[in-house]
Amino acid sequence: MKRLAVYCGSATPADPVYLETARGVGRELATRGIGVVYGGGRLGLMGAVADAALAAGGEVIGVIPQALVDAEVAHRGLTELHVVPGMHERKKAFTDLADGFVTIPGGTGTMDELWEALSWAQLGYHSDPVGLLNTQGYYDDLVAFWEKMATVGFLRPQHRDLLIVADTLDVLIDRMAAHVPTQPIVRMKAADL
């Protein structure tokens, strides 16, 4: 994996564990020689990931919609900053620029990015690993919901392992590196769906 898209919040929660997690992700990816592709912001966990990766000598590519540049939240010290018209173009750029996706704690925007990466993997628009860093159990309920979708039958058995979950970044990156793409929906026959 040469570059990973990192999905995370632009907020800074009161509990310092989230900011430290973001810094640790940026630092570790840079140390491993893995570039960061992220939302291009300077605030919250986004800014912490970028700053830590840059401080460790890493490549950091931001992709940010023009409206957020206009709101003055763009990080101006990145390796590259791509300004796009909107969120759809931003998420497509993440997929085009990265070899995988890591989601750390965040809010609705982070969830939108994660679910789209999973949906696109399921459909076959990409075959890259999709990882979820479950810092202090932040995503326990989401992981349980993923399992419920499989149990009920809304998530096909061959797609159950698309979401790669770990509590530590080292384990997550190792699991992502071992990722084997599954059979996407676009390669299935209607009778198998």
Confidence (pLDDT) at 184: 72
Which region holds residue 151: left if phi is over 0, alpha if psi is between -120 and 50, else beta? alpha
Least confident of 20-24, 57-61, 82-86, 183-187: 183-187
- 187 falls within a domain: no
- 9 falls within a domain: yes
Q: What share of the chain in percent tops pLDDT 90?
A: 91
Place 193 in a pLDDT band, splitting at 50, 70 and 90. low
- 192 falls within a domain: no
Instruction: Judge whether residue 95 has pLDDT over 70.
Output: yes
Domain that includes residue 157, residue range: 3-181
Beta strands in 8-79 (DSSP E): 35-38, 60-65
CA 49 to centroid of chain Cα atoms: 12
Q: What is the mean pLDDT of residues 108-128?
A: 95
How many folded domains does the chain comprise? 1
- 171 falls within a domain: yes
Q: What is the mean pLDDT of residues 78-99?
A: 97
168: domain CATH number? 3.40.50.450
- Residues 7 and 100: their CA atoms lie apart, in Å, by 11
Closest CA to 93 of 29, 38, 34: 38
Place 182 in a pLDDT band, splitting at 50, 70 and 90. confident
Confidence (pLDDT) at 181: 85
Confidence (pLDDT) at 183: 75
Residue with tokens 């939240």: 73
Confidence (pLDDT) at 46: 98
Instruction: Judge whether residue 189 has pLDDT over 90.
Output: no
- What pTM does this model have? 0.94
Q: Three-state DSSP class for 161?
A: helix
Return mean pLDDT, the chain: 95
- 186 falls within a domain: no
Position 163, amino acid: L
Q: For 119-156, how does the pLDDT look when each residue is reduced to its tens digit (9 = 90+)?
A: 999 999 999 999 999 999 999 999 999 999 999 999 99
Q: What is the mean pLDDT of residues 77-81?
A: 98
- 13 falls within a domain: yes
Q: What is the mean pLDDT of residues 79-88?
A: 97
Confidence (pLDDT) at 109: 95
Q: What is the mean pLDDT of residues 1-26?
A: 97
